[in-house]
Chain A
């Protein structure tokens, strides 16, 4: 009888001890936010274009973490889908048909003589890459432009166009075109 009580007591004390330990750990090492969201957000191209249907890259990352399909990032393209698939441990899917487009990097360009200074594009730009004031000509800081396309639609005089980033010797990718080489698979 004493041994039974002793055993119960010992087990009880151990249980209480571990319970307290776990409780302490849950307070002490509490994870703020969802680390998966941060990881997903790091994979996305941060163009903040909203083509996925979410207002920015972070909201889409949150949605993916909550089960949204991974193939909605058009600017990221196949590469990003592959990376998200790796991270999430799911099969990569082809880019959503609704978003299919060429994802060659572009920057917006304002045809300045046509600009009437309505500031609509400035309000649309998610990264504040357009400078200008009311009734003053606007222009784009091309280094900050993510090529998200969001400023094109609001322009009342259609003076914004998306121009592909020019290839220079600095960003040239050593494509094999200049040297006759066949690639094997």
Chain B
């Protein structure tokens, strides 16, 4: 240690490996004083101007700020704030291209100066030695000082290290061939720089302060010597001019002979290095309470008339600096380089702002900038290895970088490369070696990030798998327990028979109540008791009755005018019979009759329009038969309860469902038959599509009727609603496939007695009979409403499917291609229409008292979203 100090005191220094001597261009700017720059029209202040993380923005657009007011607040130790360089208003906070070789945009604060340059209140500090150590460091942090030599490392982290270090090195080497900013600063402000050095000495208590300066700045050396004449432990170390003397590791090696290990930091060797400009900023911050808001920038190059050093406010666009120095370059060929010629980068636009690390703006003439050298093969001359200041093997690195051999690059210590560009400078093959290294470094860093991310993803994936497994086990355990409990309960059930019967009784009561709810208010509680009885209706009998009714309906389908006249009559009669009697069976019969009547009416309608009179007698007989059968069915139904009074209601329901399914199948078959018949027997028929329409209508009707049937027979609310929904869907399908649906609507509404309001009205509501709907909806209890809505949703979905299916089907069946086309084109519109229809439906339901309109709206919105998605998918499918 003492030998090193002795050597330094004798001005005998060391040499670092390699280095180059590019032609000096400092004479362009080092003879003129630093010129202050007027404030630009708009300051662009990047939120992050240093290595680390940006702070949180403290200001909003439109805020008025004072000079020196901080615009961001540091959120982590690696963050430093930025400050308003002058007073003014925040115009916007937006992305803008910043001083980065990528030319990518970063978040910037746009400040419009008001010209008053009004300071925020400042606390001037007469004697920093009276301040606490932590106070000084806080002042440095708040002033937003980061290394001003080029890298921009936050200064407060460097100065907050353990005191009693060996060497504090002040880097005044400034080895880039054009830059004179530090040179001029030392000449003009040596006293302030000395204050900064003293503050650092106060903080770090170094054994020796070394100011490393190249021998090409005699005036600066003189000024510093004068300023430090009476201080013993500050040494001005004049070192020979060699690029890159200003590199941290290179200067340490040159001044102390110590080498910093790969990946190590100078502090591990008891050394801390600061740039002279940083020292100036520290003095300003601690003594004058002036944050880092301006800096000296060398604006140089042979493309300028008046190259010079400028005091520029941070955030000043480079264009203002260049215009002050009068560029002679034509606008289209003007290249602006930020940083020195060795390590700088070309700017994509000239509005890039000056930041804390900007020490030079270079506007070279074309002959200065030799961009047109084309790269040729490496000739293995080895000059790059000779000049490398980091003792690396640039040619080997280059090959590995080109081969993307990351392991080899790491083995060759790529990350010790300081990007100085000496190797590229000497390369006779004009290989841009540094560019390859930069790319390789970025790739390796990216790869490392990806590896970390992959590791994280893997961990998360494993955790998820474990969680799913855990949940599955828990579920199984729960199920097992439940089944065990059931088994235990079953074993105990012998003694619990009494309880069971009580439960059954309760269930019956509940059902009775429900049935009552669905009925109109006219129906009294006496009917409820009869309904309980009807649950005991023989399922077999009911099924047979229904099947027969259907057969009759089929027969009636092909009837003519006469049959038509008769059918409504029977329907009306049946209805008349049913209403007065409180018996449930009669209701069922009435429903059947109504269904038949409807069908008959339908058949009549089409038959009347199409068929000739020759079939009249045969159909009359058919009609007669059907009416006879109807009567039979009614009789059977009436007798049914007497035969099997104690049958299970559940069985009845199942039977009803089966019967319904069969009936539907039959109805469909019948519809098809009808179609073929009409086509065959009535050649006079104009459009085949009409048969389609009518058949669909008939199907819908039959189903609707069946829905009523099922509702009445088992007296089960829920089922009724589902059935209603299905019916609704069918009705919708019919509606969409038909061009004239008015008559079908009319029919169903006319024959719709109030009794079946709940079910039928829902079916109607889709077929636009909103008046009827609102009437019946008001009768519906709120509890039913929700279920009805679910059913409506199901129906909606089915209707949609039906539309699509019918579209596909119709294109195959119908020979009229134009119809198919029109439908497929309109299919999307249809879906939308369905939704539109659905929403009014909900709207009608709103009239029921207990329904909250908010939930309705929400549901409607969701439905709209789903519809949108489906429409999108359909569109995609179509475009494919």
Which A residues fall within an 8 A CB radius of B? Answer: 41, 44-48, 56-57, 114, 116, 126-129, 144, 146, 155-158, 167-169, 171-176, 178-184
Contacts and interface: CB of A to CB of B under 8 A. Distances in A.
28 contacts: A46-B455, A46-B457, A48-B461, A57-B461, A114-B865, A116-B862, A116-B865, A126-B464, A127-B460, A128-B460, A128-B464, A144-B456, A155-B869, A156-B866, A157-B868, A158-B869, A168-B106, A169-B104, A169-B106, A172-B102, A173-B439, A174-B101, A174-B442, A178-B103, A178-B346, A179-B346, A182-B375, A184-B375
B439 A174 contact: yes
Contact of A45 (B346, B377, B446, B450): B450
A173 B457 contact: no
A99 B619 CA distance: 66
A157 B435 contact: no
Contact of B442 (A172, A179, A180): A172
What is the size category of the interface that chain B forms with chain A?
Answer: 35 or more
A174 B402 CA distance: 14
Overall SS of chain A's interface: loop
Contacts of B104: 167-169, 172
A169 B104 CA distance: 6
Interface in B451-497: 453-458, 460-461, 463-464
B869 A181 contact: no
A127 B461 contact: yes
A157 to B, nearest CB: 4
Contacts of B435: 174, 176, 179, 181
Interface in B62-121: 98, 100-104, 106
B688 interface: no
Given A45-B454, A171-B449, 18 more contacts: A48-B457, A116-B862, A126-B464, A127-B460, A127-B464, A128-B460, A146-B457, A157-B865, A157-B866, A157-B869, A169-B98, A174-B102, A174-B438, A174-B439, A174-B441, A175-B439, A178-B345, A182-B375
Contacts of A171: 446, 449
Contact of B866 (A48, A116, A126, A183): A116
B461 A46 contact: yes
A116 B864 CA distance: 11
Contacts of B432: 179, 181
A177 to B, nearest CB: 9
Contacts of A172: 100, 102, 104, 442
A157 B346 CA distance: 47
B872 interface: yes
Contacts of A183: 375, 402
Contacts of B449: 171
Interface in B424-452: 432, 435, 438-439, 441-443, 446, 449-450
A166 B259 CA distance: 40
A152 B456 CA distance: 22
Given A48-B457, A169-B100, A169-B102, A180 B371 contact: yes
A104 B402 CA distance: 21
A46 to B, nearest CB: 4
Contacts of B100: 169, 172
A56 B462 CA distance: 10
B168 to A, nearest CB: 32
Contacts of A169: 98, 100, 102, 104, 106
B374 interface: yes
B348 interface: yes
Contacts of B460: 127-129, 144
A126 B449 CA distance: 20
Nearest to B441: A174
B376 interface: yes
